[in-house]
Chains A and B, each alone.
Chain A
Amino acid sequence: MRTTRRKLLKGSAAGLAGILASGVAPYHFLRNIAKAEESDTIKVGILHSLSGTIAIIETSLHNAELLAIDEINAKGGVLGKKLEPVVEDPQSMVQVFAEKAKKLLLEDKVVAVLGCYTSASRQSVLPIFEQYNGVLLYPTLYEGEECSKNCFYTGAVPNQQLDEFVPWIMNTLGRKKFYLIGANYIYPKETNREVKALLKKFGGTVVAEEYSPLGSTEFSTNINKISASGCDVVFSDLVGDQVVAFYKQYKEFGITAKDIPICTPITTEQEIAAMGPENALGHYTSFDYFQSIKTPENDSFVERYKAKYGKDAVTNAVMECAYLQTYLLAHAIEKVKSTEADALIFNGLPGQEFQAPEGKVKIDEKNHHTWLWSRIGQANEQGQFDIVYTSKDWIRPEPWARYLYPDKQCDFTDKRVLERLKQPWSEQKNRSGTINM
C-alpha cells in the first residue's frame, strides 16, 4: 500500500520532470535563432515596411538608409567599427511595428532605430522606446505637436512647410479661396488646422474641408464638389496611391493647374512618376528637398542613389531625410564616443549638424526636431519640380506651431522637463518634453 503510493509519487514526479524538460527544451533552439551573433560592429535597427500597402514609400526610405550606412562603412565606419544594419519588416501593420521594435531593442540590442513612416506606426512604437529607453530617428514630415525624449524627428513639421507656403500661395499666386481635401486621419487634420490658422492670419478663406477614407481611389465625387464650390486653389493632404488617383482624375475631368492649382505638402517625385508628368503638370508642392536642387551634395547624392538602385530611381524629400538622419546618428556616436542611449539623447544628437543634399541641417538643441529648408516646387514635363521659391535661411522647427499654440513649446533643456524625465519610467505621468510658458 504505502510502497505503491511512494512508487506512484516517484513515478509522477519523474513524469512531471520529464514533461518540464520536454517543455523547456525548445527554448534553447528559439534563443539560438533569436539571439544575434556577437561581433565588433555597431548595430543599427532599420524598421520600414517592405511588404504591405505602405511598402510603396517605405522601401525607398529603407534604401536611402542602407545607402548612407554603406557610405559610412566605406569611409571606415564609426569609432573604428562598422555599422551593421538590422533590418525588420513590419508589413505595414502597427501591431507588427510594436513587436519588431521590441525585438530590435531587447533581442538585437541595437544602438538606435531608423524607422517608421506613418504617424500611426510612430505612435505604436514610441511607448516601447520610452519604456526601454531606446533611440528612434523618424524621417517623415508629420503633424508635429509631439515631442518624446526618445525620438528625434528629422522630417519637416507644419511650420517648416506651411508658414512660407500658404502666404506664398495667397500673395504670389493670388489665390485666397482654399478647398481642403485630405485622407481621413491625423496628419491631414492637424495640417489643415495649421493651414486654417494661417489663412485666418493672412486673410484667406476655407471654402470646404473634407476627408476621404484612406485607400479610396474614386474621386469623381470630390472633383465635382470642388468645381461646384467656387474655390480657386485646392490644398490636398491625400496620401499614398490616393494622390495618384486624385491627380489623374482631376486632369481627366478637365481641370488644369491654370484653373485651380493643387497645392500640397506631400506629393513627391515618386508619385508623379507613378501618375505620369502630364497629370501633375503645373501643380505645386512644398518640401525641404527636391531632386532637382542644384547643389554639389545633391548631384552626387542622386548619382550615388541611382548607381545603387538603378537609373530610373527617383529621390524624394522623405528619403533624403532618411539619408541625412543616418549620418546625423553616425556623427553623434562619433561625438560622444559611446553607444549608450542617454549619451546620444542628451549630448550626441542635439545640435548635431550635417551638410545634407538639401543644404546644411541640424537637430535643434532643445526640441529634438530638425532645422530644414523650405522650398516650393512646380511640377514640370520631366516629372521633376521647377523650384519657384527657396527660403532665405534654414527654418527653425516648431513642433508647436506658434499660430495655434503661442504658449506651448518643447524644450528638453528645461529644468521641469528634466525633472519629469529623471523619475523612473513607471512613475512618469508626463513623458513629453512639452512645457507651457
Chain B
Amino acid sequence: MMLQSIMTQFLSGFSVVAILVIAAIGLAIVFGVAGVINMAHGEFIMVGAYTAAVVGKLGGNTFIAMPVAFIVVGLLGLVIERGIVQWIYDRPLETLLATWGVGIILQTVMKLIFGPELYYAGAPKILNGGFHLIGRLPFPYYRLFLIIVAALMLGLVFFVIFKTDFGLKVRAVRRNRAIAGCLGIDTARVDMMIFVFGSGLAGVAGAVLAPIKSVSTTMGFPYAVDSFMVLVLGGVGNLLGVLAGGAVIGEAETVLSFIFNNVIGQLLVFLFIVIVIRIVPRGIFGYYERR
C-alpha cells in the first residue's frame, strides 16, 4: 500500500519536474546565454497566465493560448530588452535590480488592468480526466500533457541551440563574445533574440500552468524562485542542468513531502541545494569559465 502510494507519488513527481522545467527553461537560456538574471521572469509567467485567462474568456483553450502567450510575452520581452536590458548586459548585478523593478511595474500594471482578484483559466475539455496506471488514483491527462510540453520545450531549445544557424551564433557568443563580435556576428542582436525567445517560453509556461494553479498578479515570484533553484542546482548555461535540477528538486520534494510533509520536504531540498553548491559551486552541469 505505502509502496504503491510512493510509486504513484513518484509518477506525479514527474509532472512536478515537468512544471519546474517548463517554468525554468525560459530563464535558463536567458541567464545561460545572454547572462541576464531576469528577476521579472516570474512576472513574465504571470502575464502568460493572464493571456491564457483572456484567451479562455474569448472562447479559446490552452492549445490556442500557448502560441498567443509566446507572442504576447515575447513582444513584452522585446520591449524590455530594447528599452532597458540592452544597455546593461555588462553589469549582471544591475540587470538583476532593473528587472526586479520591471517585475514590480508589471505586477501593478496587471492589477490596474485586471483588478486584484484571482482569475480563471480552464483546462481544455480533451485533457479532463485521466488514465489508471497504478494505485487507486488516475494519472490526469493534463499532467501527462505537461510532461509532453516540457519535453517539447526542451527539444525545441536543443534544436534551436544546436541545429540552427542562429544557435551556432548563440553558442559562439556564449563561448567568447569578443571573438564572435570580431567575426562579424551581431552579438547585440543575438542577445536580443535570446531574450525574446526566453521571454516567450516563460509566457508559454504561464499559459500551460494557469489551468492547474491559480492566476493572480502575485503568482509570479514563487515560480521565479523555483526556477532559480533549478538553475543554481542544475548549473547555468547547460540545458541538461535544467533537466537535472528540475528532476532532483521535483522528485525529492514530492517524495519527501509524502514521507514527511511539504515543509520538511522543502527545507530538506533547500539544504540539499546548499550542500551541492558547496561541492560544485557552478551546479551539477555548470559551465566553468577559465579563470
Give residues in A with beta carbon < 8 Å to B: 50-53, 55-56, 59-60, 184, 210-213, 215-218, 220-225, 227-228, 241-245, 248-249, 252-254, 270-271, 273-276, 278
Contact present for A221 and B212 (CB under 8 Å): no
CB closest chain-B residue, reference A275: B120
Which chain A residues border B266 with CB–CB below 8 Å?
A: 213, 216
- Interface positions of B from 22 to 47, Cβ below 8 Å from A: none
Contact present for A220 and B1 (CB under 8 Å): no
CA distance A53 to B111 in the complex (A): 12
Contact present for B9 and A221 (CB under 8 Å): yes
Smallest distance from the beta carbon of A250 to chain B beta carbons, Å?
A: 11
| B222 contacts the other chain (CB 8 A) | yes
| B165 contacts the other chain (CB 8 A) | no
| B213 contacts the other chain (CB 8 A) | yes
Q: A224-B135, A254-B129 given; name 8 further pairs at CB < 8 Å.
A: A56-B117, A60-B117, A217-B222, A220-B254, A228-B5, A248-B213, A252-B142, A253-B130
Smallest distance from the beta carbon of A314 to chain B beta carbons, Å?
A: 9
Contact present for A217 and B120 (CB under 8 Å): no
Contact present for A274 and B137 (CB under 8 Å): no
Smallest distance from the beta carbon of B47 to chain A beta carbons, Å?
A: 17
Given contacts A217-B213, A252-B142, contact A241 B116 (CB under 8 A): no
Smallest distance from the beta carbon of B204 to chain A beta carbons, Å?
A: 19
Contact present for B12 and A241 (CB under 8 Å): no
Smallest distance from the beta carbon of A153 to chain B beta carbons, Å?
A: 24
Contact present for A254 and B19 (CB under 8 Å): no
Given contacts A211-B261, A252-B212, A254-B130, contact A274 B111 (CB under 8 A): no
Best-surrounded residue of B118, B140, B214, B261 (most CB of chain A within 10 A): B214
Contact present for A271 and B254 (CB under 8 Å): no
Which chain A residues border B282 with CB–CB below 8 Å?
A: none
Contact present for A270 and B117 (CB under 8 Å): yes
Contact present for A51 and B111 (CB under 8 Å): yes
Given contacts A224-B258, A225-B258, contact A276 B212 (CB under 8 A): no
Give B193-220 as 1s and 0s: 1 = Cβ < 8 Å from A's Cβ atoms.
0000000000000000001111110110
Contact present for B140 and A252 (CB under 8 Å): yes
CB contact between B118 and one of A228, A244, A278 (< 8 Å): that residue: A244
Of the four ranges (under 10, 10 to 19, 20 to 34, 35 or more), the interface on chain B belongs to 35 or more
Smallest distance from the beta carbon of B54 to chain A beta carbons, Å?
A: 14
CA distance A223 to B257 in the complex (A): 12
CB closest chain-B residue, reference A218: B16
Contact present for B19 and A241 (CB under 8 Å): no
Contact present for B262 and A278 (CB under 8 Å): no
Smallest distance from the beta carbon of A106 to chain B beta carbons, Å?
A: 29
Which chain A residues border B1 with CB–CB below 8 Å?
A: 228
Which chain A residues border B137 with CB–CB below 8 Å?
A: 223-224, 227, 253-254
Contact present for B140 and A221 (CB under 8 Å): no
CB closest chain-B residue, reference A278: B122
| B93 contacts the other chain (CB 8 A) | no
Contact present for B261 and A210 (CB under 8 Å): yes
Which chain B residues border A270 with CB–CB below 8 Å?
A: 117-118
- Interface positions of B from 251 to 289, Cβ below 8 Å from A: 254, 257-258, 261-263, 266
Contact present for A224 and B9 (CB under 8 Å): yes
Which chain B residues border A50 with CB–CB below 8 Å?
A: 116
Given contacts A184-B263, A228-B5, A253-B140, contact A274 B211 (CB under 8 A): no
CB closest chain-B residue, reference A228: B5
| B89 contacts the other chain (CB 8 A) | no
| B108 contacts the other chain (CB 8 A) | yes
| B169 contacts the other chain (CB 8 A) | no
- Interface positions of B from 123 to 163, Cβ below 8 Å from A: 123, 129-130, 135-138, 140, 142-143
| B62 contacts the other chain (CB 8 A) | no
CA distance A227 to B216 in the complex (A): 29
Best-surrounded residue of B1, B211, B215, B218 (most CB of chain A within 10 A): B218
CB closest chain-A residue, reference B13: A220
CA distance A211 to B265 in the complex (A): 13
Which chain B residues border A254 with CB–CB below 8 Å?
A: 129-130, 137-138, 140
CB closest chain-A residue, reference B53: A274
Smallest distance from the beta carbon of A399 to chain B beta carbons, Å?
A: 29
Contact present for B254 and A221 (CB under 8 Å): yes
Smallest distance from the beta carbon of B46 to chain A beta carbons, Å?
A: 12
Which chain B residues border A241 with CB–CB below 8 Å?
A: 118, 213-214, 216, 219
Given contacts A275-B120, A278-B122, contact A216 B140 (CB under 8 A): no
Q: Can you sample 6 A-B contacts with CB below 8 Å?
A: A56-B216, A213-B262, A221-B262, A270-B118, A274-B117, A274-B214
Contact present for B218 and A53 (CB under 8 Å): yes
| B119 contacts the other chain (CB 8 A) | yes
Best-surrounded residue of B135, B136, B257 (most CB of chain A within 10 A): B257
Which chain B residues border A276 with CB–CB below 8 Å?
A: 120, 122
CB closest chain-B residue, reference A247: B214
Smallest distance from the beta carbon of A316 to chain B beta carbons, Å?
A: 11
